[in-house]
A and B are shown apart, each in its own frame.
Chain A
Amino acid sequence: MYEHDVIVVGAGGAGLRAAVAAHEAGADVAMVTKLHPVRSHTGAAEGGINAALREGDDWELHAYDTMKGSDYLGDAPAVETLAQDAPEETISLEHWGMPFSREDDGRVSQRPFGGLSFPRTTYAGAETGHHLLHTMYEQVVKRGIQVYDEWYVMNLATSDEPDPNDRTCHGVVAYDVQSGTVEGFKANDGVILATGGPGQAFDHTTNAVSCTGDGHAMAYRAGVPLEDMEFIQFHPTTLPSTGVLLSEGVRGEGGILYNDEGERFMFEYGYANNDGELASRDVVARAELTEVSEGRGVEDEYVHLDMRHLGEERIIDRLENILHLAEDFEGADGLVEPMPVKPGQHYAMGGIETDENGATCVDGLYAAGECACVSVHGANRLGGNALPELIVFGKRAGYHAAGGDLGEAEIDTGYTDSVEDEDDTEFPVQPGSAGLEPTGDDVAADGSGQVADANGVLERAVETESERIDRLMNKDDGVQHAEIRSKLQKAMTDYVNVFRTEEGIKQALEVIRECREEYRDVYVADPSTTFNTDLQMTYETRNLIDVAETIALGALVRNEFRGAHWRQENQIRDDENWLKHTLVSWNGGKPSIWYRPVLLEGEDKTYEPKERSY
C-alpha cells in the first residue's frame, strides 16, 4: 500500500494544477494517472483561455458573458470565482514560462471568441492546451511531485455509512498497467478526481480514446451525485471522418461557414443575425444539422468552413496547426479550399457535483476539471472557459484538500430532505445496475453501515477489485468490451445528440440496459498481466455505461430547450419550471433523480435570466 497526504487522480491541466497547489500548501502529494501526464487530452485544446486581463475588460463582464452563455444554469458563486481568479492564474502560467502568442508591445495576445463581449481569449498559437499541459507538467517536475504514471485507478476506497453525506474517502485502488499489480493508495487528507471528460460515450467526438468518464463513474458509485449530465456540447466544426476539432479560433479570426449552395447560412437563414459564425456553439451546431437535414448540406453530411480570404500570412501566423489537422486527418488544404465540418461531441458541462472549493458531499473527495460540475458552464460552455476552469478550480481543490482555508462554500452538495425529487417520469426500463452485477460489488460504498478504519476500507476495496480482475480474466468466453462499447456509442449518437426526442431517448435507455445485460457476460481474452489494455478497456466500458445512462436520464427528464439541450416536445427555455440543476444519485445501484435550484445571486448582483440571442 502506498500512502500520501493528497492523491490526485489524473494529470491533465486540472490534476497538475491541483497537485502543484497541494504541494505549495505543504502536503505530500502523489499523482496517479492512466496516461503519462503529457499524454492527457488537455494537450488537444487549441483556442485559448478566457481571462479579463486588459483595460476595458473586467471580471464582471466575463462573469456576465459566462452566465448568459450558460443559459442561466451556472451557479453565480462559481461563475464569479472563475472570472475573478482567471486573470491571476493565466499570468501565473506566463510566469511559469508558457509560450503565449505576443503582441507588438510584448504582452500576451488575446482574441475574440464566440459569446464573449471582449476579446479575452488568451492563446498560444493554435496549441494553447499543449502549452498549458507541458508548462504545468514542468512545474510538477520542478517540485519533484511523485507521479505514478500508467496506473489505472479502478475504484475509490470509501466508507460505508448509509447516507453518502456521512461517508469518507480514504484513497483509491489502482492497477499498474505495466505489471498488473493491484495496489491501495491511501490518502490521509484527500483524493482529487481530475479524470477529464466522458466523450467516448459517443461515437463521433473530439475527445481522446482515454476520455471514458472513469472519475464520474467512480464518484457516482460511491454515492456522489452527478449533476446536469444532459448538457453535452456538440462542437460545430469537427472533421467529418475522425471527429478531430478545428478550433473556434478559425471563426474568431474571421472564418466563414457556407452550405452546399454557397450561402452564408448563419445570416441567410437567420440562425444568428448579429453574431453569425461566432454565435454560441449550440446555435451553430443546430444550424449546421438543420442545413443538412433540409438538403443544403455537402454530400448530405457536412458544411464548409472557409478561411482562405484571411490570407496565407495570417493563417500561418495564427492558425497554422489548423492547416495540419485538416491536411493530415481529412486531406483538405485550408489554403486553397474550404474545409468540411460537422458537429461532434465535444464537452460535458455536467459532472461530479462539487462546491466552489472542489469538495463533493463525501468527506475527503474532491473533483476538478471537466469531470466536475461546480457549475460554471450551466447548460452551455463558452469556448475558452474550460482551460481557466482547470487552473482556477484545480488550484482551489488542491489547496483545500491540503488543508488550506478557502472559507465556507456557498454552493450546497449532496442529497438532503429539502431538495425536490423527480417522480413524474416513467422509465422504459429499470435504470442502474438493479442487481445485474454478478455479486454485490457494483458499488464503491454499499451503505451497509459497516464501520471500518481507513486501512480496513482500503483493504476491502483492493480485495473487491482483485476479485473482479480474477473473474474477468478467468472467464474463457463471452462478449468483448469493444462490441458493447460500440453499440453504446452508436445509440448515444443516434438518440441523445443535438436534436433530442422523448422517444429517441427512451430508445437509448433500452440499448443502455441491453449493454448492461451483455456486460454481465464480458470477458478479457488477453491472459497477460503485462500491459493488458484489454482489461483496462473492459473497466472503462463499464464506466461508460453508467455515465451514458446518467446523460440519457437527464435528457429524458428535462423537457425544455436550454443551452446545448434541445427537446422536440418543448422547444422553449422554460424558466418557470427549469431554473434548476438535475442530479442523479446511484443509491446502491438504483438511480434516483432530484433537483436543486440554480444560484443566480452573485456577490453584489442577481443575474436576471435574459433571452439568449446572438
Chain B
Amino acid sequence: MSTQQQEQPDTQEAPADPEMKGAESPQQERLEKKEQGLAEAESVDESDVEGESVHLKVFRYDPEVSGKQEPRFDEFHVPFEKGMTVLDALIFARDEFDSSLTFRHSCRQAICGSDAFFINGSQRLGCKTQISALQQPIRVEPLPHQEVVKDLVVDMDHFYDQMHAVEPYFQQEDLPEGELEEQRQDRENREKVKMSTRCIWCGACMSSCNIAAGDNQYLGPAAINKAYKFAMDEREDEEIKEHRLRILEQEHGVWRCQTQFSCTEVCPKDIPLTEHIQELKREAVKKNLKFW
C-alpha cells in the first residue's frame, strides 16, 4: 500500500461549487478508493506467478513496416522474477525476442515520466507497476487519445504545447537585494504546493480525461496543475497570480473540468489534480474574474 499521506492544508475553504458540496472530501474518498484498489491488487499471491512466465499482449504498429501498418497485438511469454515490473517484462521481450519492440523508458524509477502506458485498461507507469499485481494476460497499449507514433510510443507534442501554454516559469521580478539573499517562504506554503511540484509530465492524466479527448484545446489537468504550483506559491506577487488565473479561467481552462476525477485516479505521483482544479475555480470566483 502506498504510504503517502494526503494532508489537507488547514487553510482550505469549503468547496464553492455544487459538485463539491455535500461530500466532505471527494478527493480523500477517491484516494482511499485508489489505495484500496492497489491493496487488493497486491494481495494476488506472488507464489502464483513465481517460477512461471508472464503473458504479455503488446500493441504493435509501425506506419512503414508491412505487417505492422494494421495495428495488432503480439504475445510474449517472459520468465517471471520476484519484483518484476511491466517495464522489466517489456525490456526482456525486446532484448530476447524482438528488438523492434519500441517504447520510451529511461530512469526505471518513476521520475522521468517516459513510460506511461495503458496497462490492463488504465494509465500507469510501466516501471512502477508490479507484474504480480496484475491479471494475466497483461495488455499493454499506448496511451489512449494520443496519436501513436509506433508500438507504445505516442506523440507527446500536444501535451508539451499545453504545458507550455500556462507560462510555466516563475515570474517574480522583485527579488531580495542583499548578497545571497533568498526569498522567504513559509513552511506551510511550501507544503501547500508540494504535491503539485511532483508532476513528471508523464501524460497519464491527460490521456484519461474525457474532456481533453473531446476538446483538443482544453489545457488539461497537468498544465493546470503546473499553473497551480505557481499561483499558490506565495513568492509570486498578487498581480502575477491574477495574470495566471486569467490564463486558467479562459474558455478551455479550469471551467471545462467536470470533476470526474479520472486524472487523479491515474496520476502516478498521487497529485490531487481535481482538488487543485477546484481550488483554482474558487480562486477565480473570489477574484471576480469573468467565467464561461
Report the minimum CB–CB distance from A121 to chain B (whole Å): 16
Task: Tell me which of B107, B156, B187 has the highest count of chain A C-beta atoms within 10 A of its own C-beta.
Answer: B107
Contact in complex: B187, A104 (CB < 8 Å): yes
CB-CB < 8 A to A125: which residues of B? 194
Report the minimum CB–CB distance from A148 to chain B (whole Å): 13
Interface set, chain A 311-352, CB cutoff 8 A to B:
316, 320, 323-325, 327-331, 333-335
CB-CB < 8 A to B82: which residues of A? 241
- A87 proximal to B (CB < 8 A): yes
> When chains A and B are docked, how far (Å) is the Cα of A525 from the Cα of B201?
31
- B106 proximal to A (CB < 8 A): yes
Contact in complex: B193, A41 (CB < 8 Å): no
Nearest B residue (CB) for A323 = B3
CB-CB < 8 A to A528: which residues of B? 62, 64-65, 100, 150
- A141 proximal to B (CB < 8 A): yes
- A4 proximal to B (CB < 8 A): no
> When chains A and B are docked, how far (Å) is the Cα of A100 from the Cα of B183?
11
Contact in complex: A329, B64 (CB < 8 Å): no
Contact in complex: B149, A91 (CB < 8 Å): no
Contact in complex: B183, A95 (CB < 8 Å): yes
CB-CB < 8 A to B183: which residues of A? 94-95
- A427 proximal to B (CB < 8 A): no
Of B9-17, B165-173, B210-218, B284-292, the one contacting chain A is B165-173
Contact in complex: B107, A41 (CB < 8 Å): yes
Of A31-39, A112-120, A157-165, A403-411, the one contacting chain B is A31-39
Among B153, B168, B175, B186, point to the contact of A138 (Cβ < 8 A).
Answer: B168
Among A39, A138, A243, point to the contact of B113 (Cβ < 8 A).
Answer: A39
Contact in complex: A324, B112 (CB < 8 Å): no
Report the minimum CB–CB distance from B200 to chain A (whole Å): 7
CB-CB < 8 A to A334: which residues of B? 3
Report the minimum CB–CB distance from B69 to chain A (whole Å): 11
- B55 proximal to A (CB < 8 A): no
Of A73-81, A530-538, A602-610, the one contacting chain B is A530-538
Knowing A333-B3, A480-B99, the reply to whether A106 touches B184 (Cβ < 8 A) is yes
Contact in complex: A329, B109 (CB < 8 Å): yes
Contact in complex: A41, B182 (CB < 8 Å): no
Contact in complex: B62, A530 (CB < 8 Å): yes
Knowing A97-B233, A208-B106, A242-B109, the reply to whether A139 touches B83 (Cβ < 8 A) is no
Contact in complex: B95, A482 (CB < 8 Å): yes
CB-CB < 8 A to B230: which residues of A? 97
Tally of A-B Cβ pairs under 8 angstroms:
169
Contact in complex: B99, A534 (CB < 8 Å): yes
Among A102, A210, A320, point to the contact of B106 (Cβ < 8 A).
Answer: A210
CB-CB < 8 A to A39: which residues of B? 104, 106-107, 112-114
- B185 proximal to A (CB < 8 A): yes
Contact in complex: B99, A38 (CB < 8 Å): no
Contact in complex: B169, A142 (CB < 8 Å): yes
Give a binary string over A238-275; 1 marks a CB under 8 Å from any B CB, 0 the rest. 00011110000000000000000000000000000000
> When chains A and B are docked, how far (Å) is the Cα of A32 from the Cα of B50?
43
Give a binary string over B210-253; 1 marks a CB under 8 Å from any A CB, 0 the rest. 00000000000000000001100101100000000000000000
CB-CB < 8 A to B182: which residues of A? 91, 94-95, 100, 107-108
> When chains A and B are docked, how far (Å) is the Cα of A43 from the Cα of B111?
6
- A105 proximal to B (CB < 8 A): yes
- B4 proximal to A (CB < 8 A): yes
CB-CB < 8 A to A134: which residues of B? 197
- A504 proximal to B (CB < 8 A): no
- B33 proximal to A (CB < 8 A): no
Report the minimum CB–CB distance from B65 to chain A (whole Å): 5
CB-CB < 8 A to B113: which residues of A? 38-39
Contact in complex: B128, A328 (CB < 8 Å): yes
Contact in complex: B109, A530 (CB < 8 Å): no
Report the minimum CB–CB distance from B254 to chain A (whole Å): 21
Report the minimum CB–CB distance from B240 to chain A (whole Å): 11
Among A35, A95, A244, point to the contact of B109 (Cβ < 8 A).
Answer: A244
> When chains A and B are docked, how far (Å) is the Cα of A460 from the Cα of B172?
47
> When chains A and B are docked, how far (Å) is the Cα of A125 from the Cα of B193?
12
Interface set, chain A 12-38, CB cutoff 8 A to B:
35-36, 38
Interface set, chain B 80-133, CB cutoff 8 A to A:
82-83, 85, 94-96, 98-100, 102, 104-114, 128, 130
CB-CB < 8 A to A480: which residues of B? 99
* Across the A-B interface, the 9 shortest Cβ-Cβ residue pairs: A97-B170, A106-B184, A526-B100, A482-B95, A138-B169, A142-B169, A39-B112, A208-B106, A531-B150
13 A-B pairs with C-beta separation under 8 A: A91-B182, A95-B183, A100-B182, A106-B187, A127-B111, A208-B107, A209-B105, A325-B109, A328-B130, A329-B109, A331-B130, A482-B95, A528-B62
